Structure 1
Amino acid sequence: MTLRQTLLATAVLSFASFGSAAAVELNISCGTVGKGQELCKEAVAEWEAKTGHTVNVISVPTSTTDQLALYQQILGSGSDDIDVFEVDVIWPGILGSHLLDLSPYTNGAEEDHFDAIIENNTYQGKLVAMPSYTDAGLLYYRKDLLEKYDLPEPTTWQELADTAKTIQDAEREAGNEKMWGFVYQAKAYEGLTCDALEWIDSFNGGSIVNAEGDITVNNPNAVEALDLAATWIGTIAPEGVLNYQEEDSRGVFQSGNAVFMRNWPYAWALSQSEDSPVKGKVGVMALPKGGEDGKQTGALGGWQLAVSKYTKNPEEAADLVMWLTRKDEQKRRAIEGSYNPTIVSLYDDPEILEAAPFIGQLQDTFSNAVARPSRATGANYNKVSNAFYNTVHEILSGKTDAEAGLADLERDLKRIKRRGW
């Protein structure tokens, strides 16, 4: 019997104790990439069987930028259209005033999670979201192709570009004209903020705005990082990457048409599925350094579950959140979907490490990931990110160079900040 079947059987047996409770209907948004929605629906079904309540899983846009705009519209109007939201790691400070304090419903479960994530999810002293999974940007690569051409794993971005070009050209000559060296997320949306922040931080160029709220993005290291990234377009990355989100990148890589891919941990389980053309041919490592004096870094990601304070059923909605973020469910998601747990003890679980070895091997990457400046910029973060990814997109598109683009960006950020964030 699988872990999920065991949990479901236990849930069904326990339903008798809830038999006299009045059933409610909830709406939840969850899982927009990879196996996320499938796993969410399975866990929701278990909770329905356990409680007798009904849950509708609502489809929302895959773009995190579009999701946030939708959630701000729903919550800003005081609507109860969605009871439980899946929220990005950067959103508690943006949406916190509209979210329920979950502290009365946790029974201390938050103590099992990474302290930094719990702190991130605390808004004005209230725990407004429970962690579901954490992640950081990673580099996926075709280990079979590196072996074929006797090339090492790249340690710097320049080495990645050189290796990508060598293998790309050789594979095209061998007959795969669709082969590209590197795919990633370069559409003008939140995903590009993550990718570009990784490039800049790897060159020791900071994180756009520092922890004290100072605007730091206009510096020589950031210029060097973005000028280098601009050279990839049309050489090792297709022009179309300028419109790629996560699943677009994964589609190219998993079809066997890219040497390297930047993506989140969820892509591992899908690359190893039975119908994947690259099953058994993929390696995962930390993203490259900016240079010999640079550092390996990945943007901090991850998702949480939060309850709208406008819900008509706060107790049931909070109970659903606790069910979906508990230890057994995080273990199942790690094994079946390669979603990184936020519960510390699971990083020593042998079943998880067998299913997704990189979770243990790259724990430092997840622990030391570079955070987007959402805490420093507060409610203005969305404006900051929007200005940043649009500037980077113009640099990648060749409409401006990094020096001019970052100088303009600094002026824009100063206007957004005015006298304070």
Structure 2
Amino acid sequence: MSARGPFRRRTVRPSTFPGAASDPAPARRVARRRRALVPALAAGLLLSTLVACGGGGSAGPATVNWYVFNEPSGSFTKAAAECSADSGGRYRIKINLLPNDSDGQRQQLVRRLAAKDTSLDIMALDVTWPAEFAEAGWIRPITGPAREEITRGTLPAAVDTGTWKGQLYAAPLNTNTQLLWYRKDLVPNPPKTWDEMLSQAAALAAAGKPHYIETPGAQYEGYTVLFNTLVSSAGGSILSLDGKRVELGEPARRAVEAISSMAHSPAADPSWSNQHEDDARLAFETGHAAFQLNYPFIYPSAKENNPGLLANLGWAQYPSLVAGQPSHVTIGGYDLAVSAYSKHQQSSADAVTCLRGRDKQIRNAVDGGLPPTLVSLYTDPAFINGGYPFAADIYEALRNASVRPKSPAYQSVSLQISSTLSPPSLVDVGRLGDLRGRISDALDSKGLVP
């Protein structure tokens, strides 16, 4: 809305006004009409101001645009409709679908934010993006009572994903972590270590039974997640805590050796170097594998696509690299953030609180396989018995979770990891030197930018 309002003042010169000089009576009548017109103009100005600023009832609810990926079960669509209804007419949430792959999602959001697009209100951010978006000034910090409400009862690891430099910028919508999924008819006792998993797969292969271990291995973010999980599970990290230095010590060597040992064993699916999460799910559902390292979305999928498999589907903690030590699986999920350029800051903030409400998180988990961020749900019998029987295992994995390297340059860091260590069959410890140099360049903005 212009600061000058919708009206322009037009000056009428006395010399051009009819009868202004020769007829004082008409002049007085004109003056009276002008005085009477002032209140009407003022009322019109006030009404136009309210409409332009969204403050009048006639303007209707504010349209809050939520940019989010397509959730096939429809739980996001239902949440948007419910929150719109619950707002009492203050706002209406409109879903704008982003591409299904995270790279495409980020690209579309970055382009709009760089152009200061005011139609962008709420964004679903992959947990690796808040640092970058906050550093760029694209998202608003969450402070005061709103921060207290969002963090109260929320998994600390999930809160950490939306935090940058000690400030909360994004509210956890859902979290995510991987488990070891296996066929109970083939694997009576799930393996506890990486080497034990490979040995069991080799034994099944020798017996002519399904034996593959399905997990992402293509050159993309899912492969970076695998490497980060293995490095963390070996007791190390890719970057320093402040995100400014490359680590990659002895734990990175053990991680590379774990990938190489699987790539050169019968456990490796021939298409491993091309697999994404969904490819791993399909391969497991069609009966070609005995194991799968993947997210819990595979459970509702198996329930719908292969009920026979569901009866034999078991789950356990991700196999460790260090005997007797828990694995540290990379946390995933999405956070909700309000654009710094949104015209509906308060409505958007209120909508964020509603969209991540308890009932919404339950539906996201049961129907869509997206783990909740509220601690209390993981011990809620109604939630567990209502379609989330592996809640305790997910919670244990989240308590031991690791995060991906926090840095505004994370996209470049991830790209260097997935490209340098691909394909899995050619990985060896000799590549770690190149990887250290490339990540260091990425941190200094010298590396390849996606």
Q: TM-score, normalised by structure 1?
A: 0.82
Pairs within 5 Å for 1:255-334: 255-273=286-304, 275-292=306-323, 295-334=326-365
In structure 2, give the amino acid aligned to 1:367.
Answer: R
Amino acid at match of 2:162: N
Partner of 2:404: 372
User: Aligned match of 1:46 in 78, 82, 87?
Assistant: 82
Deviation at 1:198, TM superposition (A): 1.5
- How does 1:2-401 map onto structure 2 within 5 Å? 22-32=60-70, 35=73, 38-51=74-87, 52=89, 53-96=91-134, 97-103=137-143, 106=146, 108-110=148-150, 111-123=152-164, 126-147=167-188, 152-172=189-209, 179-204=210-235, 206-212=236-242, 213-217=244-248, 219-233=249-263, 235-273=266-304, 275-292=306-323, 295-354=326-385, 355-374=387-406, 378-394=407-423, 396-398=424-426, 401=427
| Structure 1 runs not aligned, ≥5 long | 1-17, 173-178
Task: Give aligned pairs, total.
Answer: 384
Q: Helix, strand or coil for the counterpart of 1:403?
A: coil
| Distance in structure 1 (CA, Å) of the matches to 2:72 and 2:355 | 17
Cα shift readout 1:81-103 (whole Å, capped 9, x = no counterpart) = 53221112221111122012344
Contact 2:215–2:276 (CA<8 Å) still a contact in 1? yes
**1:81 to 1:167, Cα distance in 2 relative to 1, 3 A:** farther
Match of 1:297, SS?
coil
Letter of the 2:311 counterpart:
G
Cα distance change on mapping 1:128 and 1:224 into 2, 3 Å = closer
- Listed one character per residue, the Cα deviations across residues 143-179 of structure 1 (whole Å, up to 9, x for unaligned) are 12214xxxx211111111121233245355xxxxxx4
- Corresponding position: 1:410 with 2:442: no
Give unpaired runs (5+ residues) of structure 2. 1-55
Change (3 A) 1:112 1:326: same
Contact 1:273–1:279 (8 Å) recurs in 2? no
Task: Report Cα offsets for 1:10-61 as digits up to 9, x if no partner.
Answer: xxxxxxxx987722333323345664xx211111122233345544323323
Q: Is the 8 A contact 2:327 2:400 kept in 1?
A: no
Provide, for residues 251-302 of structure 1, a one-character-per-residue CA deviation record: whole Å limited to 9, x for no partner. Answer: 1112222111111122223223375441221111111111436542211112
TM-score by length of 2: 0.77
The verdict on how the C-alpha distance between 1:209 and 1:108 changes in structure 2, with shifts beyond 3 A counting, is closer
Q: Equivalent residue of 2:207, what SS?
A: helix
CA distance in 2, matches of 1:170, 1:75: 56
Residue identity matched to 2:65 = N
Deviation at 1:134, TM superposition (A): 1.5
* Separation of aligned partners in 1, 2:329 and 2:268: 20
